[in-house]
Amino acid sequence: MALGTEIAGGGRTRSMRLSPDQHRRLRRQARIRRELTAWMFLGPMFLFFVVFLVVPVVGTVWWSTQSGGIVSGTKSVGLQNFQRLPELVGATNAIQNTLTFALLSIPPILIGALAIALVLARIGRGAAVYRFFVYFPVLVPGVVAGLIWLFLTNVDFGLFNEVLRFLGLQPVTWLGGGSALGVLAALDVWRNVGYWAIFFVAAIIGLPEELYQAADLDGAPPVKRFWYLTLPLLRRILFFAIVVSTIWGLQVFDTALVLTNGGPGTSTTTIIFRVWQYVFGSNDKVGFAAAISLVLIVAILTLTLTQMRLLRSRRGGD
């Protein structure tokens, strides 16, 4: 700062030698000014973040203690919604369906993506073309993906049954009660495998080259190289992928709505599907909708926090 210099202003000249008190005050003013500037930059985004994310998350807690409807008005019932949740038609079922869906879809997504990435990362010619096609299904909105899969799973002219018929096998009712959730999981594999494949490709390309040269010199076969080198090196990346894909899997809704409409029966009715039904299908279940949403939010927050903690502690250890 220009302390002790002369400043010309309005014809008078004044020494700027400051007493410690003035100095402190000026420093505080400068600091406040810097803080204000910073808030002007952060402010707009922070406002949106608080109003449309923090407030709704807290709001969910409040709504989950209410009974009644958004329009018709509510009254507080404490924790009754949570106590009644297990017996409520569809709530437990929706949670079960969502978890089963995640269990069915995530392992094939990640294993498939890893397999594709291992090959794609070490390919010379045509990599760009492969990447384009592998990634393309990722950009299909869930609703449209659901429509497309109607054409694969249709009993009369669906692609799956055409192939079966071509092979001389019996056609299958793909969207029947036993298999609908599995088909929904398969759709998710189709739609998401490319996302994680491209993600893993970047990770694999970033692995230290020297280790592989050393492994080559030792004559390590590809299988061992994968098992003892690539996999351990990708540990954190894989953990991240498992957590994030689980969080995404728990949100499944649009494909279920379009492909199976939650059925047959309630076999593909997922958590967000139920929330939507509670809010718009009946006018007195808004508390239950919030309560079951809160279950989902808590699950997602737990996963997020676990990941933040584990990734941080490992960073120190490595």
Partner 1 sequence: MSVVVPRRGAPGAAGAIAAEHARSRRRRRLRGLGKHAFLIVVTFLLVAPFYYVILASFKNSTEIFTYPPKLLPIPPFVGNYQKLLGDTGFLRWMFNTLFVAGTVTLIKVFVDSMAGYALAKLDLTGKRLIFVLMLILLMVPLGALIVPLWALVSAMGLTNTYLALILPPLANPLGVFLMRQFILGLPRDLENAGRLDGLTEFGIYRRIVLPLIKPGLVVLAVIIFTDQFMSFVWPLIATSSDNLQVLTVGVAALRSHGGADYGLWSAAAVMSLVPIAVFFFVLQRQFLARSLAGALKQ
Residues between 70 and 89 with contacts to partner 1, criterion CB under 8 A:
70
**Beta-bridge partner residues of 12:** 9
Selected from 68, 108, 137, 182, the binder of partner 1 by CB under 8 A is: 137
Contact between 281 and partner 1 per CB under 8 A: no
Stretch that binds partner 1, among 2-10, 39-47, 77-85, 98-106 (CB under 8 A): 39-47
Q: Which of 247, 227, 221 is nearest to 303 (CA)?
A: 247
CA distance 260 to 268: 7
Should residue 111 be labelled a site residue for partner 1 when binding is judged by CB under 8 A?
no
Residue 102 binds partner 1, judged by CB under 8 A: no
Residue 45 carries which side chain, given as an amino acid letter?
M
Binding map of partner 1 across residues 241-260, x = CB under 8 A, - = no contact: ---x--x---x-xx--xx--
Question: Where does this chain touch partner 1 (CB under 8 A) — which range of 4-12, 94-102, 139-147, 177-185?
Answer: 139-147
* Alpha helices (H) along 64-217: 80-84, 91-121, 127-135, 142-153, 159-166, 180-205, 209-217
Sign of CA dihedral 30, 31, 32, 34: positive
The encoded tokens of residue 125 equal 């010619």
Verify binding: residue 196, partner 1, rule CB under 8 A.
yes
Site for partner 1 contains 300 (CB under 8 A): yes
Per-residue binding letters, 165-194, with partner 1 (x by CB under 8 A): xx-----------------------x--xx
d(CA 146, CA 160): 15
Pairing outcome for strands 12-15 and 66-69: unpaired
Angle between helical axes of 127-135 and 91-121 (0-180°, round to 10): 170
- From the list 4-12, 17-25, 88-96, 124-132, the region that binds partner 1 by CB under 8 A is 124-132
* 106: contact with partner 1 by CB under 8 A: no
Binder among 16, 139, 155, 169 for partner 1 (CB under 8 A): 139
Element containing residue 13 per DSSP (H, E): strand 12-15
What is the token pair recorded at 163? Answer: 């192939």
* 63 binding partner 1? (CB under 8 A): yes
Residue 7 CB, shortest distance to partner 1, in Å, is 16
Nearer to partner 1, 18 or 198 (CB): 198
Q: Does 162 bind partner 1 (CB under 8 A)?
A: yes
Q: How far apart are the first and last CA of the chain?
A: 43
Of 39 and 228, which has the nearer Cβ to partner 1? Answer: 39
- CA 34 to CA 48: how far, in whole Å? 22
Which is closer to partner 1, CB of 48 or CB of 228? 48
Residue 31 near partner 1 by CB under 8 A? yes
When binding is defined by CB under 8 A, the residue of 80, 96, 154, 179 that contacts partner 1 is: 154
Q: How many residues does the chain have?
A: 318
Question: Where does 250-285 have alpha helices with state H?
Answer: 254-259, 271-280
Subset of 42-61 contacting partner 1 (CB under 8 A): 42, 44-46, 48-49, 51-57, 59-60
**Minimum distance of partner 1 from residue 20's CB (angstroms):** 22
Residue of the chain from 90, 91, 142, 266 that contacts partner 1 (CB under 8 A): 142
> CB-side exposure of 264: number of CA atoms within 13 Å?
8
Is 38 strand, coil or helix?
Answer: helix
Rule CB under 8 A: say whether 130 interacts with partner 1.
yes
**Residue 143 binding partner 1, by CB under 8 A:** yes
Report how far residue 25's alpha carbon sits from residue 95's, in angstroms, rounded to the nearest whole number: 59
Quick check: 7 binds partner 1 (CB under 8 A)?
no
